[in-house]
Amino acid sequence: MSLKLYYDFLSQPSRALYILLKTSKLPFEDCPVALRNGAHLNDEFKYNVSRFQKVPVIHDGDFKLTESVAILRYLSREKNLPEFWYPKDSKKQARVDEFLEWQHNNVRAFCALYFQKKWLFPIITGKEMEPKKLAGYKKRMEDCLDSMEILWLSNGKYICGDNLTAADLWAACEVEQPRLASYDPTVGRPILGAWLDRVRSELGENYRVAHEILNKIATKSQKAKM
């Protein structure tokens, strides 16, 4: 099998690629990487898998590639990716691109930062983050989730109109992440909630499998809160 995916289910872009490949029935070798064990930080990973020492990574034969959005495009050209994910029609494709470029410094940055500061930081350092600082991260994430509704979800069932595309998959994986830190992005956001349910239903079992660990931890975090 020429295609290998190095991933961790706790990594949002890893989940997006995993779900994409499984749903599209593209054969690949599963290479899970335990980020919590620092598996990506050793020299072996650096020299043999990726010099960036992150996930996800794909190897297509000898060709090594990082950055999930770049990988999506590569797969759409080189493998049999169903067209709805990344339409060949130029203007439809440009709309998917527009979201995928916007999300880096918006929904990805803010949801990931809050998750890191609230959930990861205490695990690594043994301390909680200063409440005032944490409140700042939370506010920025909340403003961004509001903007998802206003800027992207007010004109159709999906981000790019009436059909599911890779934009929805990438966004959904980011929006799920803060649930690990007991924050449910859909509370108070009915449009976001309806959209997320739509994506979860449409992608069914593959989406559920990729989010199984996250869902388990999120349920525990919710109970701990109560």
Partner 1 sequence: MSLKLYFDLLSQPSRALYILLKSSKIPFEECPIALRKGAQLTDEYKNNVSRFQKVPVVHDGDFKMTESVAILRYLAREKSLPDYWYPKDSKRQVRVDEFLEWQHNNVRATCAKYFMKKWIFPLVTGQELEPEKLAEYKQSMEDCLDSMETLWLANGNYICGDKLTAADLWAACEVEQPRVTGYDPIVGRPILGAWLDRIRTEVDPHYGEAHAILNKIAMKSQKA
* Site residues for partner 1 per CB under 8 A: 51-52, 63, 65-70, 73-74, 77-78, 90-91, 93-94, 97-98, 100-102, 104-105, 108-109, 151
The Cα–Cα gap between 60 and 118 comes to: 36
Closer to partner 1 at the Cβ: 31 or 113?
113
* Beta strands in 43-115, from DSSP E residues, in sequence order: 57-60, 63-66
Q: How far is the CB of 83 from partner 1 (least distance, A)?
A: 16
Q: Provide the β-strand partners of residue 57.
A: 6, 66
DSSP assignment string, 26-54: ---EEEE--GGGTTTSSHHIIIII-TT--
Q: How far is the CB of 181 from partner 1 (least distance, A)?
A: 20
Closer to partner 1 at the Cβ: 19 or 100?
100
Location of structure tokens 């770049």: 70
Q: How far is the CB of 142 from partner 1 (least distance, A)?
A: 19
* Pairing state between β 29-32 and 3-7: parallel
Closer to partner 1 at the Cβ: 93 or 206?
93
Query: Among 94, 178, 187, 116, which Cα is nearest to 149's?
Result: 187
Closer to partner 1 at the Cβ: 77 or 127?
77
Q: How far is the CB of 65 from partner 1 (least distance, A)?
A: 6
Q: How far is the CB of 154 from partner 1 (least distance, A)?
A: 10
Closer to partner 1 at the Cβ: 154 or 201?
154
Location of structure tokens 């979201």: 99
